Amino acid sequence: MRVLGVDPGLTRCGIGVIDSVRSRRATLVEYGVLRSEPSDSVDQRLLVIATQLDEWLDRHVPDVVAVERVFAQHNHGTVMGTAQVAGIAMLAAARRTIPVALHTPSEVKAAVTGTGRAGKEQVQRMVKQILSLDHTPTPADAADALALAITHLWRPAGALQGGERSEQLTPAQRAWAAAEHAARR
């Protein structure tokens, strides 16, 4: 399975592509940041991000697109741009009939680190370790996009497919599954 993760942002939109491989592992395909100029009008900035995202989708042809679920922050201007870019990512995937999955920041942190309160540096270190990279993916937006893709690959429903048993999950995956189960109660 190929997963394209999107950490939406109007100035910097993190993007990362991973493939699943045997034994519940993931391998890096590519990561980066889509950028738009803050001095441009919002419509032009959205067009620039959409065009770049289309190029990534066409080049990598993912099986699913994992997008960070936007939540209300104190800075409403930031959340608006983030929500707009998340919508563009979902629309671009829908136009290609690619399924979209939304994951909250705390779900992503719990999936890759074992705790929903992990800091950016901890997420970056774990992404490096999980993908067996020689260096930490930067900027943080790109690492977050990779973490989103990993989260989708490791989601509890997918973690038990193909006859795999829950004992084969990593501690971070088990912690995330337990948190998901508790949240559903």
Residue 118's pLDDT band, with cuts at 50, 70 and 90, is confident
Question: How far is residue 52's CA from residue 132's CA, in Å, rounded to a whole number?
Answer: 27
Mean model confidence pLDDT for the chain? 86
Query: Is 30 a catalytic site residue?
Result: no
> pLDDT at position 135, please?
95
Q: Which of 37, 58, 68, 180 is catalytic?
A: 68
* Domains along the chain with CATH numbers: 2-184 (3.30.420.10)
Q: At what angle do helices 171-184 and 140-154 cross, to 10 degrees?
A: 70
> Which of 34-38, 69-73, 113-117, 118-122 tops mean pLDDT?
34-38
Residue 31's pLDDT band, with cuts at 50, 70 and 90, is very high
Q: At what angle do helices 140-154 and 105-113 cross, to 10 degrees?
A: 80
Residue 177's pLDDT band, with cuts at 50, 70 and 90, is low
Question: How far is residue 16's CA from residue 93's CA, in Å, rounded to a whole number?
Answer: 15
**Structure token pair of residue 101:** 């999955």
Rounded average pLDDT over 160-178: 45
Question: How far is residue 89's CA from residue 68's CA, in Å, rounded to a whole number?
Answer: 10
Nearest in space to 108 (alpha carbons), one of 13, 6, 17, 9: 6
Query: Is 7 a catalytic site residue?
Result: yes
Sheet holding 100-103, edge to edge: 25-35, 12-21, 2-7, 64-68, 100-103
Cβ within 8 Å of residue 48, ≥6 positions away: 34, 35, 36, 37, 40
**Structure token pair of residue 37:** 């100029």
Rounded average pLDDT over 106-127: 89
Nearest in space to 15 (alpha carbons), one of 147, 183, 179: 147
Tell me the whole-structure pTM to 2 decimals: 0.82
> pLDDT at position 20, please?
93
Q: Which of 43, 141, 144, 167 is catalytic?
A: 141
Question: Model confidence over 2-27: pLDDT tens digits?
Answer: 999 999 999 999 999 999 988 778 99
Q: Which residue has the higher pLDDT, 3 or 180?
A: 3
Question: Model confidence over 73-103: pLDDT tens digits?
Answer: 666 667 888 999 999 999 999 999 999 999 9
Query: Is 144 a catalytic site residue?
Result: no
Q: Which of 7, 30, 107, 121 is catalytic?
A: 7
